[in-house]
Structure 1
Amino acid sequence: MIRIAHISDLHFGRDDATLIDPLQDALNKAEPDVIAVSGDLTQRARAGQFRAARAFLDRLPAPWICVPGNHDIPLYNLPMRLLRPYAGYRRTICRELSPSFQREKLLVQGLNTAWPFSWQRGHLRKRHLTRACKRFKGFDGARIVMAHHPFQQAQGTKKQLMPGAEEALHNLAACGTDVILTGHLHAWRAEPFVARTGGSILQVHVGTGLSTRLRGQDNDFAILDIAGRYCTLTRMVASVKGDFAKDIETRFTLNSR
């Protein structure tokens, strides 16, 4: 069995400090093989916020893979935003913006969807999708994509969907993607994608792990246990006791396997 912990939208600089240790403790108890961090580590891409985020990452109990979110690009410093948008992230978190993590029977491919010319909406780079598909086609195991921005949203979502998201889903399904991990909306959603993918990719969209900017939901993260064609997904939610406790557990079949 493979275990992945998925956290997102930590927003250091707008974080609930009382949840940092409980989140660390919950991740320690989960004993994941890898921790996927799907962006927005900071609130305003400031040096001190990146340092706080890196200190958190350095305390994680397992290898981690991370991609930037739109909040990890400067908003008000226009010269930096336009000329060196990822400088702080590269310097403090990771030089690679679309990293990958591979071990036996598991391949996680990160996609950088943060885009300095569109603050909220995000952007898909075709060369990154092509690279992910090339790697997936030759891999015998769980094939996971991680990005900050979602590839599909519920009706009524105020934030705009990335351009080209539906076409990207079709291509990722064709090359055998099993799961897509995303964040950005501060809302939980876990179900197979619909439309042209034929429901063959499981979407796991977690809320915010630490931020005080809640969208009517509690702070949470996800644990994915993958064994063959099956994925058991557990939502862990911040409780009134100040810890993270199991909320719901659902079993999915990974149709592309």
Structure 2
Amino acid sequence: MSIPAPNSVTIAHLSDVHLPPPAAIPLRELRNKRLLSLMSWKKHRQHRHLGRLSDAVIADIAAHGPDMIANSGDLTNFGLPEEFVAGAAWLSSLPAPTCIVPGNHDCMVAQPWAEGLAHWSLWMTDRGKDFPYCRQIGDVVIIGINSGIPSPPFMAYGRVGRAQTRRLRDLLHRTRGLCRVVMIHHPPRPGLVVRRKSLLDQRYVAAALREAGAEIVLHGHSHDSTITTIPQSDIPLLGIASASLRSLKPWRQAAWNELTIHREENAWRIALAQHRILDEGGSEVAQRRVWQRPCEQAA
């Protein structure tokens, strides 16, 4: 999908919305890892992941009028078919064209594509084997990677895999000359999440990003608003807090990233304004940052 662009392109990045699950979950769906996750939701997470905060994030995004919304995964809690249907309705309601990648909660257990992620095809790709996919708006392209895989109880790790990493490298080469914004759920850098939640093949994904080039990488999963880099490179790596999380730690309070991208003579100017939702209402700009990223020559 390609959208005609204005002089600059603005992307709203959010993640880990964790929409409230269905009121009643069929017993047959709880004969696996979902049961433990439901217990965690009932005991802790439902009191911290609040719908009013994710609603406030969307209202704040709408007020800023972005050209594109990028959602880096975990729209669901348990990856139930009913949650994917509800997620599709939610995605349809957003105030700008949207793209999404799966998170570990969206891929909690193995299930047929048609029962789960197929409901989000309009906002990513029609088939699992087509990851990574891309969405273009003017001179900017968002490249979506799938790192979500089923994992054992108490684990939340991800994996991209050799075939997808190879396709990622090829796609990055083909889109040289554009501003390549890469989106993934699990951060491709050690230390941002504990090992049991890490990207198992982060070393190879980071190598592909370094070798083929990218202008900026967005991730979720950590529930932290962070600014780091892809290892052994100067490629900015941005994490964002859960869009629904209430926290006393400012860097974990519900937030979204506003990225404004403008092409200058020989460089991309990428300006970040990180918007944090205030618990008493409204929002504030928590961080600002500007990067000048060199324009690669078209392939």
Query: TM-score by structure 1 length?
Result: 0.85
Give 2:259's match in structure 1, choosing from 207, 212, 224: 224
Give the aligned residue type for 1:225: T
- Structure 1 match to 2:12: 5
1:172 aligns with 2:206: no
Maintained 8 Å contact 1:34/1:62: yes
Report if the CA contact (8 A) 1:65-1:100 is conserved.
no
Deviation of 1:65 after TM superposition, in Å, equals 0.8
Which structure is larger by alpha-carbon Rg, 1 or 2? Answer: 2
Q: How far apart, in 2, do the equivalents of 1:35 and 1:155 lie? A: 24
Does 1:233 pair with 2:272? yes
Matched pairs, number? 246
Contact 1:151 1:162 in 2 (8 A): yes
- The amino acid across from 2:13 in the alignment is H
How big is each residue's C-alpha offset from its partner over 1:67-114, in whole Å with a ceiling of 9 and x where there is no partner? 11110124xxxxxx23x2654432422244533211321111111101
Match status 1:122 vs 2:161:
no
Partner of 2:68: 34
Change in CA separation of 1:240 and 1:155 when aligned onto 2, cut-off 3 Å: closer
Instruction: State the SS of the aligned residue for 1:26.
Output: helix
Q: Which runs of 5+ in 1 are unaligned?
A: 75-80
Where does residue 131 of structure 1 map in the other structure?
167
1:124-168 deviation line (CA, Å, top 9, x unaligned)? 122222222222223221011111100014368464432221232
Provide the secondary structure at the position in 2 that maps to 1:226.
strand
1:231/1:207 Cα in 2 relative to 1: closer, same or farther (>3 Å)? same
- The alignment's C-alpha RMSD in Å is 2.3
- Once the two structures are TM-superposed, the CA of residue 11 in structure 1 deviates from its matched residue by 0.6
Distance 1:215 1:87, change over 3 A: farther
Check if 1:245 corresponds to 2:284.
yes
Q: CA deviation at 1:235?
A: 0.8
Amino acid at match of 2:275: M
Equivalent in the alignment of 1:90: 117
Report the Cα distance in structure 2 between the residues aligned to 1:171 and 1:184, rounded to whole angstroms. Answer: 21
Tell me how far apart the structure 2 counterparts of residues 51 and 127 of structure 1 sit (CA, whole Å). 29
Structure 1 counterpart of 2:75, one-letter code: L
SS in 1 for 2:270: strand
Q: CA deviation at 1:256?
A: 6.4
In structure 1, distance between residues paired with 2:17 and 2:95: 17
1: distance between equivalents of 2:203 and 2:94?
Answer: 34
- Structure-2 change in CA distance of 1:156 and 1:171 (3 Å): closer
Q: 1:154 to 1:256 in 2, by over 3 A?
A: farther
- 3-state SS, counterpart of residue 213 of structure 2: coil
Unaligned runs of 5+ in 2: 1-7, 21-45
1:202, distance to aligned residue in structure 2 (A): 1.0
